[in-house]
Amino acid sequence: MDCQQLMNNVIPVIHNPTSVQKLLDAVKVSLGFGVKTIVVTKAVGTAAQQGIPEAFRLVLKSGASLIVLPDLKDTVELLRPEAVYFLGTRGDSMGEVGGRVLFVVHASDQQFMPSEVSLGRLVRVLGRDVGSTALLTLALNRVLGSCVD
């Protein structure tokens, strides 16, 4: 797959953000790797009230799209990805990425619930807990790093 296809098909999903800063950091990282679509699910508190409008501003300025949905199940149902990767410190190796894929990070740095992980596959990005934004950065770099100038 060429870089343009990868940037169109790799979709970061920022799940359950509670902090404005964590939400915006994940959005900025995603935009920095040139992704064309970013999804936010289950935003709560100030992340929902202040972070979402600011995230929309950043995404629109970059020419990308932001989708805000209530839940991960809706994301999988509507976007119909070929694979859903829940990024973490445990799990399987990601392997080769092809087609439309979702990279899901838990923005409140909690563990994913079993009902959430049942929608895809838990993958190990790094064996240490470095936070959700760092996990997203490492996963995007693994897949899109060669596409970024």
| Domain parsing of the chain, residue ranges | 3-108+138-144
Min mean pLDDT across 33-42, 68-77, 101-110 is at 101-110
Q: Is-contact 120 102, C-beta < 8 A?
A: yes
The torsion of the CA quartet 85, 98, 37, 121, rounded to 10 degrees, works out to: -10
Residue 129 confidence class, pLDDT cut points 50, 70, 90: confident
Q: Given a cut of 80, is residue 149 above it in pLDDT?
A: no
Collapsing DSSP to helix, strand or coil, 101 comes out as strand
Q: Given a cut of 90, is residue 44 above it in pLDDT?
A: yes
For residue 47, what pLDDT is reported? 96
Residue 14 confidence class, pLDDT cut points 50, 70, 90: very high
For the domain 3-108+138-144, what is the CATH superfamily, name and number? SPOUT methyltransferase, trefoil knot domain (3.40.1280.10)
pTM: 0.95
For residue 91, what pLDDT is reported? 87
pLDDT tens-digit readout, 88-126: 988 888 888 889 999 999 998 788 999 999 999 999 888
**Mean pLDDT value of segment 112-141:** 92
